[in-house]
Structure 1
Amino acid sequence: MIGIVASRIAERFHRSCILISFRNESDGSVSDIGKGSGRSVDDLNLVDALHAASDILVKFGGHKSAAGLTVEKKHLSSLRAHLNAYALEGMTEDNGATLLLDTYLLPDEINMNFVLALQKLQPYGQDNNQPVFYLKDYFITSIFSMSGGKHTRFHLALPGNSVLPVLCFGYPYGDFMFNKGDRVDVAGTLDINIYQNKETLQLSLVDMRLSDEFICEQTGEFTLIHNICQNEIPDPPLTDVPLDHELPPIYLYIKQVVTTSGAEIRLSPGSAAADISREYEITCSRLKLLLALHIFEECGLLVMSCSSCDLPISLRLLPRRNQKVSLTESPLYLRLRTYYKTRTK
């Protein structure tokens, strides 16, 4: 058990870790002799590190990535000092976590035949790690909770209206920071899941992030809206603006999502725009939705945060107390309406 905990700590903090227990496993009593287990990251050789402190250890053994030891409690402080000194000697200035990827996969390369061929590389283990693949700029189609919220599963879009399930073990659903409609870069291992005698591909998540392309698109849209608010004329000309008949359904959608006035929600603009287009049969792009939200904010209907460093956007509705709101109270609305009329003459 102590080895499993040491491994999880090393993975979580990307630091080599040795845990030592002074409790007897048989009766739980405290002993003066402790038994420990260690796990290493990067190039730190645990056996060499323990060898440097061999004069104060009862015994030790293992290999460079995992080791065990026995030590007297009176030598614990000295052991800690020896190990820290040894680690500092080999520590580089940049000691951040580095994820090593085996290769980049194109969407049409993710298929059953490829994963079956991968199985010939098994068994995986020391010096034969399971391949970690890089999937770039994939669209999240749906997100699900697993095991009562302890884990998360989401789907990535693949060609031919198919999806690739991605399993995030140990990633609580409530802490999942991504949204339906986001485009992401994903690193993970490919496996075959067998359920009710049906085989499907799945990817076990190692790490993920919003794709650079997705961030650049949204950042560009935020900058464009900021420039319009500063009375700058868009170049190239802006054609995708919210029309008068499109603003009410967009606001109705926001009201449906925020069921309680004052509650804050996180909204993925791409996913919300697709939902609005489907539900209300209008053409609502991500840019059109963002412009509409800025208009609603200027009219005092909601407050939001949508900087390029805060994706997805956060917003909450403000109480209206039954007073009528005129869209002409929004400078952005008036500017867009004048601009649109000029463009369509």
Structure 2
Amino acid sequence: MRNVPEIIWKAKAAVDPIKLEGLQAELDLDPKILTLLLQRGIESLDQAIQFFKPSLDELHDPFLMKDMDRAVERVDQAVKAGEKIMIYGDYDVDGTTSVAMLANFMHGHYSNFITYIPDRYREGYGVSTAGIDKAHAENASLIIALDCGIKALDKVEYAHSLGIDFIICDHHTPGPKLPAAAAVLDPKRKDCNYPNKGLSGCGVGFKLAQALSQKWQIDKSECWKLLDLLALSIGADIVPMTGENRVLAYYGLEKINSDPSDGIQALLRTAGQLDRRLSIGDVVFTLAPRINAAGRLAHAQQAVDLLRGTDLSLLPEIADEIEIRNQDRKNLDRQITKEALHQIEREIAPEALSTVVFQDDWHKGVIGIVASRLIENYYRPTVVLTQSGDKLAGSARSVEGFDLYDALEACEDSLIQFGGHAAAAGMTLKPEQLNDFKIAFEESVKARITDEQKQARLIYDLDIEASDIDAKFYRLIQRFAPFGPDNLAPLLRCRNLIDRGSRTVGDEGQHLKISVVDPDSGLCLEGIGFNLGPKLKILKSQQPVALLFHLELNVFRGQASLQLRVLDIKADSELED
């Protein structure tokens, strides 16, 4: 049976009652909804209107970004001189959407460009020598690197030696020195004053398209056509869902739901999602894995071809192939996760503060997913490694609040290279460095991790009664969407519930189909708890239980009903308050 780490429940800090009273005087809404607004920093009617009705007028001027003027001038120079441009991007969702988006924008105004995605297995992450050689062979004199390149100092120098300029459009943390490119666009540059530090890689590329549209006096609507692809990247890359990102995701989702591009429509068809309204959650768990599957198990250029949709006749075939790749990815994910869990049980001490596992035949394309799965079982910073040529390649994932990038910096003597950010990273090392890296990573984590970061926590927004749960309450909560980091879907707690026939479901009984009743009102609540199978014994104790859950709409055979997406279950008597 799956190991389920114990999770601490913690309530969000109580809102200021004076602020609640003031907001209630301006907005005639349920105090619970007003509390949710105050928790998000919304304290006035004007702020609430801006939050509930995002406007594209709120987007920042792209020229506020450091080097944007230089980037625009270099692209404009290339267009005027008829230079060939290579649009280069990483092989994940953020990278492939970036390339497809900028290519679609350029296509209407300049045709002398090519797209390039590195091969995950032959070239690895980021800017590659092979990609630069391809640009040289194609007589391209400018490479626009999207979602990568911020640490590609030597590659940019190599390109210069071949007469090729670079524009870097990245959102990862820069190193101490920037590449000597014609322009380096990265809101995380210390000398960049762009207000939104949380753009996705595709978001940085979008700001370049915005700036070019201003330079070339192109109507804004040309940029708005790109927002469906941008919403895919915002959802998949788990960037903050506030401010500008939330506006872009809001309108990107509108386009996906009302006027999806041909490529996205083909993807929705194979996923069986054509006839329903999609949320950011659907982007993250339905569309993104399929787009990623192309780069994980084959070549991500296939995803770019799909998202660009330039040859409509090929789209159904490409979408079908991607669907097959996604099923293969799921099977590999399950198998490797099982093997990794067995390795942890055999080789890693229970008191360890980190997880590092390696097997030479694990598929490189899914080790990042496996790292996330392992954290669901053993809540600690995790690295999964596999053989890649004569080196080892790894993907790392962090726990809430722990800076993974900082921890890896302390291990750089045991690595060839690494890159990423606080929550996720990748690295390469020599086989003979493996033991040293395991020791160094454990020591680095031990020196940095806090007691609070050692145990999974769920911070919930509100306590509610079963009688609060109705269609109106659900509709009001949905107005807080799109959800994501810093604007998570409200997490609710309901206490004093009694089981009325909950059961395990799934091939191995790993999930819970939850059915409970509130003894005070007699109201019944239905829900699903993924990977909560071991918690069935708590429900079957016939003692009152408490649930933490998101409220969602379940559509089955054309019938819609409210459902609890349960994240955890505890005996009511265990709770301190």
Scaled to the shorter chain, the TM-score interval is 0.5 to 0.7
Q: Take 1:106 and 1:194, find their aligned partners in 2: how far apart are those partners?
A: 24
Higher mean alpha-carbon deviation, 159-168 vs 40-49, is at 159-168
Partner of 1:120: 479
* Partner SS state of residue 136, structure 1: strand
* Cα deviations by residue, 1:284-318 (Å, 9 ceiling, x for unpaired): xxxxxxxxxxxxxxxxxxxxxxxxxxxxxxxxxxx
- 1:92 positional shift: 3.4
Alignment of 1:164-203 (within 5 A): 164-172=525-533, 176-179=537-540, 181-203=542-564
Q: Is 1:107 aligned to 2:466, yes or no? A: yes
* Partner SS state of residue 99, structure 1: strand
Q: Is 1:65 aligned to 2:423, yes or no? A: yes
Larger Rg: 1
Of 118, 125, 129, which aligns to 2:488? Answer: 129
Q: Is 1:12 aligned to 2:371, yes or no? A: no
Give % identity: 27
Q: Is 1:141 aligned to 2:500, yes or no? A: yes
Q: Take 2:434 and 2:487, find their aligned partners in 1: how far apart are those partners?
A: 35
Amino acid at match of 1:100: I
Q: Is 1:76 aligned to 2:441, yes or no? A: no
Higher mean alpha-carbon deviation, 104-113 vs 189-198, is at 104-113
Partner of 2:405: 47
* Partner SS state of residue 128, structure 1: coil
Q: Take 1:21 and 1:172, find their aligned partners in 2: how far apart are those partners?
A: 31
- 1:45 positional shift: 0.5
Q: Take 1:213 and 1:62, find their aligned partners in 2: how far apart are those partners?
A: 39
Amino acid at match of 2:505: M
Say if 1:152 and 1:176, in contact at 8 Å, map to a contact too: no
Q: Is 1:152 aligned to 2:512, yes or no? A: yes
Amino acid at match of 1:172: G
Q: Classify 1:57/1:170 alpha carbon distance in 2 versus 1 (closer, same or farther; 3 Å).
A: same
Q: Is 1:163 aligned to 2:524, yes or no? A: yes
Partner of 2:396: 38
* Partner SS state of residue 479, structure 2: helix
- 1:177 positional shift: 4.2
Say if 1:146 and 1:152, in contact at 8 Å, map to a contact too: yes
* Partner SS state of residue 64, structure 1: coil
Q: Take 2:490 and 2:500, find their aligned partners in 1: how far apart are those partners?
A: 25
Q: Is 1:208 aligned to 2:566, yes or no? A: no
Q: Take 2:420 and 2:487, find their aligned partners in 1: how far apart are those partners?
A: 18
- 1:205 positional shift: 1.9
Q: Which runs of 4+ in 1 moved over 6 A?
A: none
Say if 1:142 and 1:180, in contact at 8 Å, map to a contact too: no
Alignment of 1:279-294 (within 5 A): none
Q: Classify 1:213/1:18 alpha carbon distance in 2 versus 1 (closer, same or farther; 3 Å).
A: closer
Q: Identify the structure with the greater strand proportion.
A: 1
Alignment of 1:275-314 (within 5 A): none
Q: Take 2:506 and 2:439, find their aligned partners in 1: how far apart are those partners?
A: 42
Structure with higher RCO (Cα < 8 A, 6+ apart): 2
Q: Classify 1:176/1:185 alpha carbon distance in 2 versus 1 (closer, same or farther; 3 Å).
A: same
Q: How many residues align?
A: 208
- 1:161 positional shift: 4.4
Q: Classify 1:127/1:70 alpha carbon distance in 2 versus 1 (closer, same or farther; 3 Å).
A: farther
Amino acid at match of 2:515: H
Q: Take 1:129 and 1:63, find their aligned partners in 2: how far apart are those partners?
A: 20
- 1:66 positional shift: 1.6
Q: Take 2:391 and 2:484, find their aligned partners in 1: how far apart are those partners?
A: 31
**RMSD across aligned positions (CA):** 2.8
* Partner SS state of residue 41, structure 1: coil
- 1:142 positional shift: 1.7
Q: Take 1:199 and 1:52, find their aligned partners in 2: how far apart are those partners?
A: 51
Q: Take 1:186 and 1:174, find their aligned partners in 2: how far apart are those partners?
A: 11
- 1:160 positional shift: 5.9
Q: Classify 1:115/1:87 alpha carbon distance in 2 versus 1 (closer, same or farther; 3 Å).
A: same
- 1:62 positional shift: 2.1
Q: Classify 1:177/1:160 alpha carbon distance in 2 versus 1 (closer, same or farther; 3 Å).
A: closer
Amino acid at match of 2:529: C
User: 5+ unaligned residues in a row in structure 1: which ranges?
Assistant: 25-30, 215-345
Q: Classify 1:175/1:155 alpha carbon distance in 2 versus 1 (closer, same or farther; 3 Å).
A: closer
Q: Classify 1:126/1:75 alpha carbon distance in 2 versus 1 (closer, same or farther; 3 Å).
A: farther
Q: Identify the structure with the greater helix proportion.
A: 2
Say if 2:554 and 2:560, in contact at 8 Å, map to a contact too: yes
Q: Classify 1:63/1:120 alpha carbon distance in 2 versus 1 (closer, same or farther; 3 Å).
A: farther
Q: Is 1:87 aligned to 2:445, yes or no? A: yes
- 1:173 positional shift: 7.3
- 1:48 positional shift: 1.2
Amino acid at match of 2:559: K
User: 5+ unaligned residues in a row in structure 2: which ranges?
Assistant: 1-365
Amino acid at match of 2:422: K
Say if 2:503 and 2:536, in contact at 8 Å, map to a contact too: no
